[in-house]
Amino acid sequence: MNLPIRPRRNRQSPAIRDLVRETELTPGHLIYPLFLQEGSENTPIASMPGCTRWSLEGLVKEAGEAHALGVPAVVLFPRIPDELKTRGAEACHADDGLVPRAIRALKSAHPTLTVITDVALDPYNSDGHDGLVADDGRILNDETVEVLCQQALCHARAGADIVSPSDMMDGRVAALRAALDGAGFQSVSIMSYTAKYASAYYGPFRGALDSAPKAGDKKTYQMDPANAREALREAALDEAEGADILMVKPAGPYLDIIAKLRAATMLPIAAYQVSGEYLMIKAGAAGGWIDETKIMNESLTGIRRAGADMILTYFAKQWAAAWR
C-alpha cells in the first residue's frame, strides 16, 4: 500500500507511546473514601470486598499508608449507631461525634493529608434520607439546608479542609459558603456533588453503612440518569453559588457528563467511581473473568480522559501501590 500517513508509527515502541500519551494518572489525582465506625474493631465490609469499616486507630493507619503512597486526600463516611439516629439528624453536628473526632485524629497524625467530609444527613437520619423527611414523606429542602450548614461548621471546627455536600438540596452551596465565611472559615473549600444521579450503583455503599432509605427513593433530589442538560444547569448554579470543585457521580457510566461539564466550566472536576463500579470489577476479578489490575487502571484512565481532574475511588490505595 502507498500510505504516507500511518498512525501506527506513533504506537511502535513503549518509548514513543510514552511520548504521545495524552492522559496521565498518578496517585496525586486520587481521593480515598474511607468508612469508619465507633469502637476498636476493624470490620471487613461484606458488600464491598477489600473495604473495611475502620476504628479511629485503623482509619489513621490506613489513611497514613495511602498518603505515604502519594494519595493526597481522603473522604470520610461514618456508620452511626442506630440509637443516635433521629428524624432531625442532630448527631450530624455534635462536636464530639465520630466524624469530628476522626478529622482531629487524622490532621494531628498526618498534617499534610487533605481531609474531606461528606455533608448529608443519611447516616444520621432515622429515615435514611439525605434530607429531613416531613410527616407526609416529602424531603424538606430549606429546613435540610439549615442542618447541613451546622454539619459543615462542625466539620470545619474540627479541622476539615474540604466539605463535600452530597445531598442535592437546592441552594446548599450558597448557604454553606455564607455559613463558613460568617464563622471565619474562608479557607475551607466546597467540593459539591453537582451532578449526582439517582443510581443503583450506590447499592453496596448503602450496605456498608446501613444507610438505605427506610421508605421511598432518592429520585426527588438525585438526578434522573436520563438527563444531561440538567447537569449543566446544576453546574452553572453551583459555580455561581461559590463551589470550588464540581463533582459527577457515578463516574464510569456518566463519562459524557464529565466531558460536558469539563467543557462548560473553568472549575476543577471530580468524578466518583462509586461502590457498584468498584464491586463489579472486584466481582469479575474474583470470578477469574477479568484482570483486576488492568481493568482498575483502564477504568480510572477513562475517567481522567473524559475530563476529571481528580477521582474518588475505593481503589486509591491499591492503585497507588501498584503504580510503577
List interacting residues with ligand PBG (CB under 6 A).
Answer: 118, 120, 122, 130, 166, 202, 205-206, 218, 274-275
Q: Which is nearer to ligand PBG, 130 or 239 (CB)?
A: 130
> Closest Cα to residue 167, out of 142, 203, 189?
142
**Is 317 one of the catalytic residues?**
no
Closest CB to ligand PBG among 23 and 86?
86
DSSP state of 92: G
Query: Smallest distance from the beta carbon of 32 to ligand PBG, in angstroms?
Result: 12
Q: Which is nearer to ligand PBG, 185 or 315 (CB)?
A: 315
Nearest distance from residue 167's CB to ligand PBG, in Å? 6
Q: Which is nearer to ligand PBG, 21 or 169 (CB)?
A: 169
- CA distance to 90, 217, 290, per residue, from 80 (Å): 12, 20, 35
d(CA 95, CA 106) in angstroms, rounded, equals 15
Closest separation in Å from C-beta 238 to ligand PBG? 16
Query: Which helix H or strand E contains 165, and what residues bound it?
Result: strand 162-165
The active-site residue out of 85, 218, 249, 260 is 249
C-alpha cell at 158: 474540627
Smallest gap from residue 118 Cβ to ligand PBG (A): 5
Is 249 annotated in the active site?
yes
R_g (Cα) of the chain, nearest Å: 20
Q: What is the 3-state secondary structure (H, E, C) of 267-316?
A: CCEEEEECHHHHHHHHHHHHCCCCCHHHHHHHHHHHHHHHCCCEEEECCH
Catalogue the active-site residues: 196, 249
